[in-house]
Amino acid sequence: MTQQHDDGVRGVLFDVDGTLVDTNYLHTLAWWQAFRRFGHDVPMASIHRTIGMGGSTLIEHLIGEGRDTGQDEELKDTHGALFSAQWPAIRSFDGTRDLLNHCAEVGLAVVLATSANNEELAVLKKVIDADDAITGATTATDTGISKPSPDILEAALGVGELKAEEAVFIGDAVWDVLAANKLGMRTIAVTTGGTSEAELRDAGAAYVFENVRELLNAVLAGEVPELAKATGG
């Protein structure tokens, strides 16, 4: 059962790619290869800046509204196949398992907010290795329009039986922060996905940390009250 914290927080939503697991550059390479196969020469730097968006939004952002939209599903499938070849290399960031366990131990609902399909989600959860701490997770079938639309976060709030004002979101991309902003939800950001502290703060992140371990240390030091020990039921 989740507990009420002094500041009203009852749960925490986690972005996964680039936040809990080191996959953003693997996704960048997979998208770059997929675009090349369909005749689109898109620079990797441009692709990296869109990681965190969902597939359809990313494609529209990178190759424009005038594209052959009939290729979109094939592009996404090709990216997925290329990315799946990298699954054995995926690692979680230092501190990921400890942070999720801490959140569960202090009575917070822990929800993974991801647009991964069921097979990919199973791989990510195995890498994270904190199943006992995880209340639930979204999947591709839950998420509707992708970030920066807040649909994925609304689905994650539903999984955790939370209201936006009762949750904080932890992510790594500007798109994460913008999506949370639309719901009035506070965001804690990490720079492990390759986005700078300045960009994340400019987007509206309440806190920015270099990595998950630094975030956890700040939580344990009492510097992030949203994730501190609950004092009431």
Instruction: Write out pLDDT tens, residues 10-61.
Output: 999 999 999 999 999 999 999 999 999 999 999 999 999 999 888 888 999 9
pLDDT of 219 reads 97
pLDDT at 107 over 80: yes
What residues does CATH 1.10.150 cover in the chain?
A: 24-88
CATH architecture of 24-88: Orthogonal Bundle (1.10)
Nearest to 205 by CA among 186, 223, 222, 219: 186
Do residues 55 and 7 touch, judged by C-beta distance below 8 A? no
- The pTM is what? 0.92
Lowest mean pLDDT among 37-51, 129-143, 201-215: 129-143
Q: Residue 53 pairs with which residues in a beta bridge? A: 51
Output DSSP code: residue 223.
-
Give me the chain's average pLDDT, please.
Answer: 92
| Over residues 124-132, mean pLDDT | 97
Q: Which residue has the higher pLDDT, 85 or 66?
A: 85
Q: Determine the angle formed by the axes of helices 55-63 and 72-84, rounding to 10 degrees.
A: 110
Element (DSSP H or E) covering residue 72: helix 72-84
- Average pLDDT (126-143) is 90
pLDDT in tens, 146-183: 667 899 999 999 999 999 999 999 999 999 999 999 99
Report d(CA 218, CA 213) in Å as an integer. Answer: 9
The CA distance from 86 to 107, in Å, is 35
Which CATH code fits 11-23+90-227? 3.40.50.1000
Q: How far, in Å, CA of 103 to CA of 167, rounded?
A: 12
CB atoms within 10 A of CB 96: 25
Three-class secondary structure assignment of 115-168 = CCCHHHHHHHHHHHCCHHHCCEECCHHHCCCCCCCCHHHHHHHHHHCCCHHHEE
The residue-averaged pLDDT of 132-139 equals 95
pLDDT at position 111: 98
pLDDT in tens, 67-77: 777 889 999 99
The pLDDT of residue 233? 45
- Within the chain, which residue ranges are assigned CATH 3.40.50.1000? 11-23+90-227
pLDDT score, position 5: 57
